[in-house]
């Protein structure tokens, strides 16, 4: 944990240094763009290169983690409904809070040379039809993330259907997922340098005021996250789970603290299972199915973040967002959060997918990258709390809450 904390401090130092050097180079901005920016581009390319295999492997693994195709029925259905509904709500809340706060309104980047790149947003019917790839290999080669996500879910289900015969392939895909997590972790070690190299040219060319809107991004993401937990999780725990919200959050505190400091849902999974089983009394059969699946596919905090950051980038670049574009964001961010691995910084990678879906400039990520760790800590906390809330709700419905433990813990 100590090591992780020092990485976040390093990233903050990279950010501050980048701003300072950027200010110093304002009159010689070409030094920043010619000599420093390429390292930032290199860092961006590195995170982009892992997207396809990371999403594919972690998602197939998540579906396969259901264990048995029959379980896909009742428990799987309930879990998926809870995950999808709360996640879609989370993106919408992120978009709403971001538009009320006007996250990027006071600073508009010159957009002239970017206009050519802005694609027209496809209609919602086209988006839905396009979700199913006719050729999965082509989808991967083209980096069509929505199609890759659909294929991964279908492949994971297929693997479950063939049972024993699927074990080898599932094992290989699991190794691929583990490898990708390790590579993500390694790339995150370069983040302080990447952040420095991404921020310096932005500040040198545009001036330090480009950073001011970031305070609003952090505020919007944190406010929306706290609201989501206070409203959705409290209400779900109380009504469907029949557990008082105070008891729920008290029991969850250790897992939430670990999530906040490690910024990793996967890393928090063991503590989360302990809190949910031992403190909240959810039976193991429910917890051991709902929580690992949730650590891979249920990311409400990431969904909020994707909503806030997308609106921020649109506003900073002065690109208006139509209602259709907002709907596309809700859809793609919900699916993107499913494909987000539960490791630090994964959400930032998925932001490229959401931005692409509505034709926003990917360069906007450079602005977010500098503060991503601060956002990651909060979104991971929401991510794992959502998993636990689902375990309580599904657990109660399935008679899977141990009332004796519940009473002794209360």
Note the residues at the interface with ligand ASP (CB under 6 A): 263-265, 299, 302, 340, 342-347, 376, 379-380, 383
| Cα separation of the two ends of the chain | 30
Q: Which is nearer to ligand ASP, 341 or 394 (CB)?
A: 341
Q: Which is nearer to ligand ASP, 119 or 274 (CB)?
A: 274
Q: Which is nearer to ligand ASP, 279 or 376 (CB)?
A: 376
* Residue keyed to tokens 């809330």: 389
State in angstroms the smallest separation of the CB of 305 from ligand ASP: 6
What is the spatial distance between Cα 371 and Cα 377, in angstroms, rounded to a whole number?
A: 11
State in angstroms the smallest separation of the CB of 264 from ligand ASP: 5
> Helix, strand, or coil here: 186?
helix
State in angstroms the smallest separation of the CB of 120 from ligand ASP: 28
Q: Which is nearer to ligand ASP, 61 or 400 (CB)?
A: 61
Q: Which is nearer to ligand ASP, 211 or 263 (CB)?
A: 263
Q: What is the DSSP letter of 319?
A: -
State in angstroms the smallest separation of the CB of 384 from ligand ASP: 7
- CB distance 118 to 314 below 8 Å: no
State in angstroms the smallest separation of the CB of 19 from ligand ASP: 23
Q: Which is nearer to ligand ASP, 19 or 304 (CB)?
A: 304
> Helix, strand, or coil here: 68?
coil
Q: Which residues contact 314 (CB under 8 A, 6 or more apart)?
A: 104, 320, 321, 358, 360
* Closest residue by beta carbon to ligand ASP: 347
State in angstroms the smallest separation of the CB of 226 from ligand ASP: 17
State in angstroms the smallest separation of the CB of 346 from ligand ASP: 4
What is the spatial distance between Cα 21 and Cα 337, in angstroms, rounded to a whole number?
A: 35
What are the φ/ψ torsions at residue 282 (nearest 5 degrees)? -75, 130
Q: Which residues contact 130 (CB under 8 A, 6 or more apart)?
A: 122, 144, 146, 147
Q: Which is nearer to ligand ASP, 265 or 315 (CB)?
A: 265
What is the spatial distance between Cα 218 and Cα 371, in angstroms, rounded to a whole number?
A: 8
């Amino acid at each position: 944990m100590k090591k992780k904390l020092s990485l976040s401090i390093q990233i903050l130092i990279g950010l501050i240094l980048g701003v300072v050097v950027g200010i110093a180079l304002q009159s010689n901005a070409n030094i920043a763009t010619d000599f420093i920016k390429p390292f930032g581009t290199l860092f961006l390319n590195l995170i982009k290169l892992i997207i396809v295999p990371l999403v594919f492997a972690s998602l197939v693994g998540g579906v396969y983690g259901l264990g048995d195709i029959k379980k896909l029925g009742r428990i799987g259905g309930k879990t998926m409904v809870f995950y999808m509904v709360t996640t879609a709500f989370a993106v919408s809340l992120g978009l709403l809070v971001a538009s009320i706060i006007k996250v990027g309104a006071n600073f508009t980047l010159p957009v002239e040379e970017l206009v050519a790149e802005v694609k027209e947003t496809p209609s919602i019917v086209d988006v839905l039809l396009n979700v199913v790839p006719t050729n999965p290999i082509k989808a991967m080669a083209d980096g069509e993330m929505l199609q890759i996500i659909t294929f991964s879910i279908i492949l994971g289900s297929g693997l479950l259907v063939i049972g024993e015969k699927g074990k080898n392939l599932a094992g290989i895909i699991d190794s691929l997922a583990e490898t990708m997590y390790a590579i993500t972790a390694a790339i995150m070690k370069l983040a302080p340098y990447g952040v420095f190299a991404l921020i310096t040219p932005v500040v040198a060319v545009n001036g330090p005021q480009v950073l001011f809107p970031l305070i609003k991004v952090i505020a919007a993401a944190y406010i929306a996250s706290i609201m989501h937990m206070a409203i959705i999780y409290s209400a779900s725990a109380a009504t469907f789970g029949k557990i008082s919200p105070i008891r729920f959050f008290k029991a969850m505190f250790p897992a939430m603290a670990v999530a906040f400091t490690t910024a990793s849902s996967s890393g928090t999974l063991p503590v989360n299972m302990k809190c949910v089983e031992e403190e909240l009394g959810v039976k193991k059969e429910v917890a051991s199915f709902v929580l690992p699946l949730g650590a891979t596919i249920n990311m409400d905090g990431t969904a909020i973040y994707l909503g806030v950051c997308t609106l921020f980038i649109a506003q900073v670049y002065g690109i208006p967002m139509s209602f259709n574009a907002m709907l596309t964001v809700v859809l793609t961010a919900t699916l993107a959060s499913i494909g987000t691995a539960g490791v630090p910084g994964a959400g930032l990678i998925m932001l490229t997918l959401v931005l692409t879906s509505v034709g926003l400039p990917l360069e906007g990520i450079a602005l977010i990258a500098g503060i991503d760790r601060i956002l990651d800590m909060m979104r991971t906390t929401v991510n794992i709390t959502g998993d636990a809330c689902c375990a309580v709700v599904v657990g109660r419905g399935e008679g899977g809450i141990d009332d004796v433990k519940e009473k002794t813990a209360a």
